Amino acid sequence: MADEKGLTPRAEDFSAWYNEVVLRAELADYSPVRGSMVIRPFGYAIWENMQRALDDKFKATGHQNAYFPLLIPQGFIEREKEHVEGFAPEVAVVTHAGGRELEEPLVIRPTSETIIYSMFAKWVQSYRDLPVLINQWANVVRWEMRTRLFLRTSEFLWQEGHTAHATEAEAEEEALKMLGVYRTFMDEWMAMPPVLGRKSDSERFAGAVRTYSCEAMMQDNRALQAGTSHNLGQNFARQFDLRYQTEDGGEAYAWNTSWGVSTRLIGGLIMTHGDDLGVVVPPRLAPYQVVVVPISRTSEERTTVLEVADRVSDQLRAAGLRIHIDDRENMTPGAKFYEWERKGVPLRLEIGPRDVKRGEFVVVMRRPPAGQEPKISLAEAEGIVAIPGLLDEIQSAMLAAAIERREENSYRGVDDYGEFKEIMAGPGGFVYAGWCGSEECEERVQEETKATIRVLPFEEFRSPTEPDRCIACGGTSIEEAVWARSY
């Protein structure tokens, strides 16, 4: 079995490493359907933890979940001009159903703006009905030619927020607020610190007025677009007749936003934290935060050790932690260590007969904070009290390390295109450089270096000195841009 040999090291082939990690940590698998994946229980449990954290935040900001149809009349997709150009090439089309050819083909939703705003138009009559703040957890299909597990699959799971507001300012505030929610989630749950900003027009969502994005840096120094939030203006409201009676008795179109993150985040998590032994899951998202491995040779030892394992687990569970006792027989402790390491469980507790006698257990950290020993022995009572704090420490240290790595591989003040090309051809990274605002320069840079503008960064991410020249043409820069190769 493939399990017996190690993973391809990241430094040797990052892409091969990634696929091996996903398969061998049993996060996902290829399916018999081209471009579709199967999310296996361990991967799905990470998704469930992501969902819970995000869903709580959506509800805390006043959003409600609902569910809209999977199948959308083809004509709906075609109404918004940019939207159809963006999505028509990648839709899957249902032409037959119930044994007959359909009069109008239906497309499987690639995103749900059209069907959702057609319903909002039915529900919203007056300014009193606004804002409408809806979220949907759903599957979508976008027919991709080149697919990668989690990162780009023909079907994926996501959430899509859709809102309607009475004013442009409220819609803009909402779009930014939800981008902020994503950022908090990526920082504090995923330990995957994104750079935030606006997309250039060429990377805008098809149908949006403005697209905002969270861009995270992977360990190969490429960017991952991890979450986007769109100010849709009145583009969809006009096409779907989403009008309302204003407070002064007039009539106006509503203003919409939409925002989404997907199972792609799991790919981001792997490429942010994984190492040559496997995936490393931040404690707040780990399916199991602690795995207890009882060690024994005789059946008497097994009884004693399992009793302690149960007692310790119960107490940790009572402290709100997710615990698993790996009491499989016919499997060596070493094989178990190896499996949980590969699956990235934050803490392993080893309890053997000698530990029981001493009233201790051994804690092994999958990713110890910088400067700490991975393996420590703790007295039982003391250890139980210490573990929640240890998990918090690991979580914080993972974020700090990711920020440090991101900044080490970010380049500011680059004003020479030769140097820019060398970075992109070499180590890669985020290059903060000037841009004249023209699509021609974006295209030229992409052709020559494969890098694109990931975002026009928000104030807090900008360099102390604004660049004054476009990195490509040398013309006057109108805005600093974060350039990088991306997924």
Residue 45 near residue 289, CB atoms below 8 Å: no
How far apart are the C-alpha atoms of 237 and 165, rounded to whole Å? 11
Q: How far is the CB of 405 from a copy of itself (least distance, A)?
A: 31
Nearer to a copy of itself, 159 or 409 (CB): 159
User: Closest distance between a copy of itself and the C-beta of residue 244, in Å?
Assistant: 16
Helix (H) / strand (E) element for 400: namely: helix 380-408
Those residues with Cβ within 8 angstroms of residue 123's Cβ, 6 or more apart along the chain or in another chain: 129, 132
Other CB atoms within a 10 A radius of the CB of residue 80 amount to: 22
104's enclosing H/E stretch is strand 100-108
CB of 372 to a copy of itself, least distance (A): 32
Backbone angles phi, psi at 217, to 5 degrees: -100, 125
Write the CB contacts of 197 (distance below 8 Å, at least 6 apart in sequence). 212, 213, 215, 454, 455, 456, 457, 458, 461, 482
Q: Which is nearer to a copy of itself, 108 or 414 (CB)?
A: 108
**Smallest distance, Å, CB 450 to a copy of itself?**
23
CB of 92 to a copy of itself, least distance (A): 4
The nearer residue to a copy of itself, 107 or 470, going by C-beta atoms, is 107
CB of 39 to a copy of itself, least distance (A): 4
Nearer to a copy of itself, 28 or 456 (CB): 28
Comparison of 5 and 67: residue with beta carbon closer to a copy of itself? 67
Q: Give the contacts of 359 (CB within 8 A, at least 6 positions apart).
A: 379, 380
Q: Cβ of residue 225: shortest distance to a copy of itself, in angstroms?
A: 21
Output DSSP code: residue 200: P
The conformational region for residue 474 under phi > 0 = left, psi -120 to 50 = alpha, else beta, is: left
- How far is the C-alpha of 421 from the C-alpha of 415, rounded, in Å? 11
Cβ distance to a copy of itself smaller for residue 324 or 405: 324
C-alpha to C-alpha distance for 277 and 10, rounded to whole angstroms: 10
Q: Which is nearer to a copy of itself, 148 or 469 (CB)?
A: 148
Nearer Cβ to a copy of itself (44/420): 44
Taking the complex as a whole, the smallest distance from the CB of residue 119 to a copy of itself amounts, in Å, to 6
Tell which residue, 199, 252, 190, 242, has the closest CA to residue 217.
Answer: 190
**Rounded least distance, CB 19 to a copy of itself, Å:** 16
Q: Which is nearer to a copy of itself, 121 or 481 (CB)?
A: 121
Distance CA 135, CA 66 (A): 6
Angle at 204 between CA 197 and CA 91, to 5 degrees: 135
Contacting residues toward a copy of itself, per CB under 8 A: 29, 31-33, 36-41, 44-45, 47-48, 64-73, 76, 88-99, 105-106, 108, 115, 118-119, 122-123, 128, 134, 138-139, 141, 143-145, 154-155, 157, 330
**Shorter beta-carbon distance to a copy of itself: residue 52 or 354:** 52
Tokens of 31: 């399916």
We find the least distance from the C-beta atom of residue 180 to a copy of itself, in angstroms, to be 23
Closest CB 32 distance from a copy of itself, rounded Å: 6
Nearer residue to a copy of itself within complex by CB, 69 or 359? 69
Nearer to a copy of itself among residue 138 and residue 271 (C-beta): 138
**CA–CA separation, 125 and 251 (whole Å):** 10
Q: Are the CB atoms for 312 and 294 separated by under 8 Å?
A: no
Q: Cα angle vertex 14, ends 12, 15, to 5°?
A: 125
Nearest distance from C-beta of residue 98 to a copy of itself, angstroms:
3
In 169-305, which ranges are E strands? 195-198, 210-217, 223-233, 243-245, 251-253, 255-262, 290-294
